[in-house]
Every structure is written in structure tokens, then in C-alpha cells.
Amino acid sequence: MSFKLTDEQLMIQSMVREFSRKVVAETAAERDKTKEFPADNLKKMAELGLLGMMVPFDYEGSDSDTVGYVLALSEIAYSCASTAVVMSVHNSIVCESILNFGTEDQKQHYLKDLAMGKYIGAFALTEPEAGSDPVSQQTTAVKDGDHYIINGTKRFITTGKNSGLVIVTAKTDPEARHKGISTFIVTRDNPGLVVGNTEDKMGLRASDTTDLHLEDCRVPAADMLGKEGEGFKIVMKGLDGGRIGIAAQSLGVAQAAFDAAVKYAKQRDQFGQKISKFQGLRWIIADMATEIEAARQLTLSAAAMKDSKKRFTTQASMAKLYASEMVNRVTAKALQMHGGYGFTKDYPVERFYRDARVFTIYEGTSEIQRVVISNNILKDKRTTK
């Protein structure tokens, strides 16, 4: 399938590309060193409408389609993967989940502020003993009058420290499995939400990843997202969209690494000629370009299926699986082409290589994507005891 982008999509791509290369890229390397959260970038992105891209105009969003969002997100990732992952979780999971399952009051009260960038959203599912198996989570929510009391610990939460709103999953029926999980909108104003340890990570260093402790956290019953027991369904739908976002991030980082490698190959002299003249490296460049294009088509296909209101779970997992594995191969080859220089911080491929590594892990590992894909193909589910 070949994609002909609309004028609007091309405009979004061009606008975000210019902003990303001029503004976001300027501080990306320094943020990688200092781990400074890109708050100033995000403020400017909010002004451009990038923090509510798929949110309707009625809720202060940009009312973009998913294809336009993928183009924009990949352009941000090209310059700074840390900024892109914040944008991805905020748009793909937080805003989309409230848009799809929130009440009108929740949309008016929370979605508008998210779309305008008044605060950044986070998504708290993973726990110390519940990663790929979310049904094993231990966080509980107990009804207490017109509130719920939530207790538990969430781990590896993107933007956990700098977010103003968190979608939290918790068990409202500990005896049930999938149908025992519910989701809640928790803000910094809710007593009992405590930020824990911030991870010192290999990559995406300007994006904070933290523990969140919920200690008798009182949340109004009106801030339950969806109905009681619908949490697993809400999470899975959110992750479908989120996986398209990870694929888009992978595309951006891979394209940046590829462009850096091509530029270096055209400049580097060895054995009396540019290394781009050597057949071995030319073949590597050809393979890199082909893999990036294949991932782009998979990602755009998944985005287009989402826009057409078709079921896109399998396509989202395929895009995430292939693109995240692809970016690890491409960044490794780009670093190798730089030789010893690629192993230093004088060249950006070192950062691209580190940033890319987590893409096969978060929002569902490559192994989990293969489970999702095969389950949908075979129309059954294998379970282990």
C-alpha cells in the first residue's frame, strides 16, 4: 500500500520538522547529559497544538488524524527521543483514553487542560511485580462513600515526576482477573500521591521515569475513568494507540541515525577515498534505508486503519514490533559506520543508539507483541500457569 499524504498532513510534517530541527534539536544533547526535563520544549509544542493532536476542537485540541500525529511525533523523535516519549504518552494514551472513555465533565475538566498543555499526562500501569502481566498488579481501590481509597506502587512511570495528571489502574475486585481492574484519573491535588525513586537510565535521559506511591490516595468516584471493571479494556485500547506512537518514535530516531551515517560516510576518507565509495558500506546503507521504509509503511498502515475506525490491534503490534527492532539494527549499523568516533559523545549516533534500546521493551516487549499478533491470527490465546 502506498500512502499519498494530504495537504494538511504535509503541512503538519513540514511545520513540526522545522520546529524540531531549529528548537528541539538545539538542547537535545545537553539534556541527555543533565537529564533536564524538556518543559520549555513542551510549552512551545502546546502553543503549536502538539499536545492535543487527536483531540477535537471542542476540547481545545488540533483535531488531527493519526497519520498526521505519526508524522509529527517522528519529527520530534528525530531531534530528541526524550521529548518524543513524553509527547507520545501524553497524546496516545492519556488524552485518547479520556476522549474515548471519559464523561463529559472529565473531558471539560481534564481533557481541555491536557490539550492546551496546562499539565502533562502520565499513565501508571506497571508495578514491581506486574509488567507484561498487568492482571497480576497489586494496587487496590476500595470504595469509601463518594471516594475511592487507592493503595499500591507503580514503577517505570514516564513523566511520573513532572506530570500533573496520571491515569492509574487498580483492582476494585481483587478476586476477579481482567474484570477486576478499574482506571482512575489522579491529579497532583489528590492527597496520597507520592513520587518515589527516579531511575538513572541508559537512554531517554531527559524524560523522567519514576516510581509512584499511592498511600491511602483519595480519589473522587467521579474521577473513575469508564465504569468499574472496565480498566483492562481501557488499558488495552490505550496501548494499541500507544504502540503506534512507539513505532513513530522508532522511525524518527532511525531516520536521524541513518542521516548521520550517510553524512559521515560522505565525509570520511580512508584508503584514499570516501568510505561511501566502498561496496560493503553502500550495501549497509541500502539495507538501512529499506528497513526504515518498511517500518514507515507498517506504521502508516496501522495509523490509517485507526483513522478508518477499523480494528487495528494486530497492525499496531506489527508496527511496534518491526519498527522497534528495526531502529536497534539501524542505530547499531550507524554507530559501526562511524567506527571509534561512534563510541564517543562527540557524535550523536551514540545517543541515538542508547535511546533506541528501550523501544523493544516499553508499552509491551517484542515478545508480548508476538503474543498479541499470533493470538489475533490464530484466534485463540495461550495461557501459562
Could you say which of 75, 230, 363, 367 is catalytic?
Answer: 363
Q: What is the pLDDT of residues 180-220, one digit of tens each?
A: 999 999 999 899 999 999 999 999 999 999 999 999 999 99
Do the domain assignments include residue 14?
A: yes
> How confident is the model over 14-46, as pLDDT tens digits?
999 999 999 999 999 999 999 999 999 999 999
* Cβ neighbours of residue 24 closer than 8 Å, sequence gap 6 or more: 38, 41, 76, 79, 80, 83
Q: Which of 58, 85, 120 is the last residue of a domain?
A: 120
CB atoms closer than 10 angstroms to residue 283: 10
Count CB atoms within 10 A of the CB of residue 216: 11
- Nearest alpha carbon to residue 362 among 282, 227, 245, 259: 245
Q: Name the residue range of residue 30's domain.
A: 7-120
Q: Which of 79, 96, 120 is the last residue of a domain?
A: 120
Q: Are residues 272 and 345 in the same domain?
A: yes
Quick check: 333 and 261 in contact, CB under 8 A? yes
pLDDT band at residue 385 using 50, 70 and 90 as cut-offs: very low
Nearest to 251 by CA among 108, 81, 105: 81
| Residue 76, phi then psi, degrees to nearest 5 | -65, -45
Task: Answer yes or no: are the C-beta atoms of 78 and 252 closer than 8 Å.
Answer: yes
Identify whether residues 252 and 181 lie together within a single domain.
no
Tell me how far apart the alpha carbons of residues 195 and 64 are, in angstroms, rounded to a whole number: 33
The DSSP code sequence of 197-265 is EEP--SS-TTS-EEEEEEEEEEEEGGGEESSTT-HHHHHHHHHHHHHHHHHHHHHHHHHHHHHHHHHHH
Extract the C-alpha cell encoding 225: 475513568
- 272 and 173 inside one domain: no
Q: Is the pLDDT of residue 56 over 80?
A: yes
Residue 1: the pLDDT is 55
pLDDT at 2: 61
Q: In whole angstroms, what separates CA 334 from the centre of its chain?
A: 23
Q: pLDDT digits over 265-291, tens only? A: 999 999 999 999 999 999 999 999 999
The answer to whether the CB of 157 falls within 8 A of the CB of 166 is yes
1 falls within a domain:
no
What pLDDT, in 10s, does the model give residues 133-191? Answer: 888 899 999 999 999 999 999 999 999 999 999 999 999 998 888 889 999 999 998 99
Same domain, 162 and 261: no
Parallel, antiparallel or unpaired: strands 209-220 and 181-187: unpaired
Q: Are 223 and 185 in contact (CB under 8 A)?
A: yes
Please report, for the domain that includes residue 141, its CATH number: 2.40.110.10
Residue 385 inside a domain? The answer is no
Residue 54 shares a structural domain with residue 138: no
Q: Which residue matches cell numbers 551514540?
A: 350
pLDDT at residue 109, as a whole number: 96
Domains identified in the chain, total number: 3
Residue 358, CA atoms < 13 Å, CB-side half-sphere: 20
Task: Kindly state whether residues 252 and 339 are assigned to the same domain.
Answer: yes
In b/e form, how buried is each residue of 334-358, taking b as 16+ CB within 10 angstroms? bbebbeeebeeeebbbbbbbbbbbb
| 216 and 285 in a common domain | no
- 72, 13 contact by CB (below 8 A): yes
In a shared domain, residues 253 and 279: yes
- Residue 343's identity, in one-letter code, is F
Is 363 assigned a catalytic role? Answer: yes
Is residue 2 one of the residues assigned to a domain?
Answer: no
Alpha carbons 310 and 66: distance in angstroms, whole number:
13
Q: Are residues 247 and 338 both part of a single domain?
A: yes
Q: What's phi and psi for 107, nearest 5 deg?
A: -65, -40
Query: CA separation (Å) from 200 to 35, 210, 358?
Result: 9, 10, 13
Q: Whole-angstrom Cα distance, residue 225 to residue 241?
A: 17
Residue 3 has a pLDDT of 72
CA 237 to chain CA centroid, Å, is 14
Rounded to an integer, what distance in angstroms lies between the CA atom of residue 349 and that of residue 345?
8
pLDDT above 80 for 382? no
Which cell numbers hold the place of 115? 490539550
Mean pLDDT score, 357-362:
97
pLDDT at residue 246 is higher than 60? yes
Ramachandran category for residue 152: left, alpha or beta (phi over 0 → left; psi -120 to 50 → alpha): left
User: Is the confidence at residue 241, as pLDDT, over 70?
Assistant: yes
Q: How far apart are CA 93 and CA 82, in angstroms?
A: 17
Output the domain CATH number for residue 18.
Answer: 1.10.540.10
Q: Choose between 122 and 136: higher pLDDT.
A: 122
Q: Residue 50: which of 206, 248, 216 has the closest Cα? A: 248
Cα–Cα distance list, 224 to 104, 234, 349, 359 (Å): 13, 12, 43, 30
E strand or H helix at 71: helix 66-79
Please state the rounded mean pLDDT for residues 310-331: 97
